[in-house]
Structure 1
Amino acid sequence: MESRSGSAAQGRPVGRGPKVCAAVLAATLAELADVGYARLTVEAVAQRAGVHKTTVYRRWKDREALVVDALTDHVAADMPIPDTGDVATDLRALARLLVTHLTVTHLGVVATMFSDAARLPEIADVRRRFFADRFRRATPLVTRAVERGQLPQGTDPALLLKSLIAPVYLRLLVTSEPLDDAVADHAAEITLAAARAGVFRSTKVSDPD
């Protein structure tokens, strides 16, 4: 297979430290895209990265931890969290970045992760941890908007962000409808309107008397 033969330039050592980590994470994403989660092995990742499998196991205890790190590192690198000073612009930019990520960058990786979930119980935990990390990274977008008075006090970042991404993932994984900037903009508009109406306020926060 082309990707495997290309990967064996692979026999060359890639060095130590950050360079090794970067090579292994990139190899993990490539393996996911090629063979899916069910068939991914640490041995294949190590071969593609040009390192010994013991090098991988020294940094990641199992393939689940490796996959989560690869996905979250990729998201952090390719989807910077907008900070324009305006929550409407930030949400629109974040939604557009998500659409680009899913349709251009790593559609195969994301689709594989979801399609394997039905028959691999462990992937459910991988997916939960993956999204938990994404919500954590995006939380400052919401908290800054609250501090600027652009969203109500007590707005729950996780609830807001779930609303933002839900229409995008629905089209990608359920209805198989096209994804574009118009879809992203609409998701951002709906989410912002709901947030300003207080829909995403934490139940722990009560209005002042």
Structure 2
Amino acid sequence: MTEPGSRPRPGGRSARVRRAVLDATLDVLHLHGMDGLTVAEVSTRAGVHETSIYRRWGTRENLMIDALLEEAEELLPIPDTGSLRDDLIAYLTSLAAYLTTPQGNAFDRALAAAGDDPAASQARKQYWDTRHSLSGEIITRGIDRGELPGTTDPRLAVEMLVAPLHFKVVLSREPLDPGLPTRLVDALLRGIVADEDTSGRDTDS
């Protein structure tokens, strides 16, 4: 018998229902995009009543965000190797690998193509805010270790790294060169960390 206030055991019915709903949500997102997702279709695919989905997630947007963030957490873990450069290269390499899969490619375009109504805009903002907060930990650790200046903006640094990948996938639709993550990281770090050979150079010479 479950004691009052205790949580369902991992792997119990609650966990199975949640997994089924999130998997169905991702399937629909990858198939129809954010604008085309309906709770009714998720309900049918998951074999769960719509009322149960709304009771747990409240809104369609909350459901999408939960599914997308869990997928990102699984496929895009935040590395912690003890080295800023190694962490950034590992993170960007995993992102590039994900975006080159049919699943990741469809996700990126779906997120970019989502409408601008208040609910969709809030869902998109919530997703990116959370992802930037997590990936920004790499930059924060680099600051703490003295590898970056204390004035470094973690979100801006991450955006400068990941933006070229998303640009190529969504806009130019160019293939992602396997060596691109390393080149982007090195370009970013050379821009943030002053080069000892040039920092004291006389600008009049």
TM-score (norm 2): 0.83
Q: Paired residue for 2:26?
A: 29
- Residue 57 of structure 1 aligns to which amino acid in structure 2? Y
Q: Tell me by how many angstroms 1:121 deviates.
A: 5.2
Structure number with larger C-alpha Rg: 2
Q: Distance in 2 between matches of 1:73 and 1:94?
A: 16
Spell out the pairing of 1:182-201 with structure 2 (5 A cutoff).
182-197=179-194
**Identity percentage over the alignment?**
35
Instruction: Note the alpha carbon deviations across 1:47-66, whole angstroms, 9 max, x for none.
Output: 11121111111111111111
1:166 aligns to what SS in structure 2?
A: helix
Alignment pair present for 1:107 and 2:105: yes
Following superposition, the deviation at residue 83 of structure 1 comes to 0.8
Residues 83 and 141 in structure 1, CA contact (< 8 A), matched pair in contact too: yes
CA drift at 1:197: 3.8
CA contact (8 A) 1:113 1:123 kept: no
Mapped partners of 2:111, 2:117: distance in 1: 10
Is residue 105–residue 169 contact of structure 2 (8 Å, CA) maintained in 1?
Answer: no
Change in Cα spacing, 1:23 to 1:197, as seen in structure 2 (3 Å) is farther
How far apart, in 2, do the equivalents of 1:86 and 1:68 lie? Answer: 31
- The one-letter code sitting in structure 1 at the alignment partner of 2:142 is A
Query: Residues of 2 paired with 1:36 and 1:135: CA distance?
Result: 22
Q: Distance in 2 between matches of 1:108 and 1:187?
A: 23
Give ranges in structure 1 of 5+ residues lacking alignment.
1-13, 199-209
Q: Residue 99 of structure 1 contacts residue 179 of structure 1 at CA under 8 Å; is this kept in 2?
A: yes
Correspondence for 1:156 among 153, 156, 159? 153
Rounded Cα–Cα distance in structure 1 between residues aligned with 2:54 and 2:79: 35
Give 1:34 deviation, angstroms.
Answer: 1.4
Q: Distance in 1 between matches of 2:167 and 2:158?
A: 14
Equivalent in 3, 6, 13 of residue 16 of structure 1: 13
TM-score w.r.t. the length of structure 1 is 0.81
Helix, strand or coil at the partner of 1:70: helix
Q: Helix, strand or coil for the counterpart of 1:106?
A: helix
Shift of residue 135 of structure 1?
Answer: 1.0
Task: Describe the shift of the 1:178–1:45 C-alpha distance in structure 2 as closer, same or farther (beyond 3 A).
Answer: same
Contact 2:136-2:155 at 8 Å conserved across structures: yes
- The answer to whether residue 69 in structure 2 is matched with residue 72 in structure 1 is yes
Instruction: Report 1:111-150 matches (<5 A).
Output: 111-117=109-115, 120=117, 122-150=119-147
Query: Does structure 1 conserve the Cα–Cα contact (< 8 Å) formed by 2:43 and 2:49?
Result: yes
Shift of 1:120: 4.8
Q: Where does structure 2 lack aligned partners over 5 or more consecutive residues?
A: 1-10, 196-205
In the other structure, the counterpart of 2:57 is: 60
User: RMSD value over aligned CA atoms?
Assistant: 1.9
Q: Which runs of structure 1 show a deviation greater than 3 angstroms over 4 or more consecutive aligned residues?
A: 119-122
Determine helix, strand or coil for the equivalent of 2:61: helix
Aligned to 1:93: 90
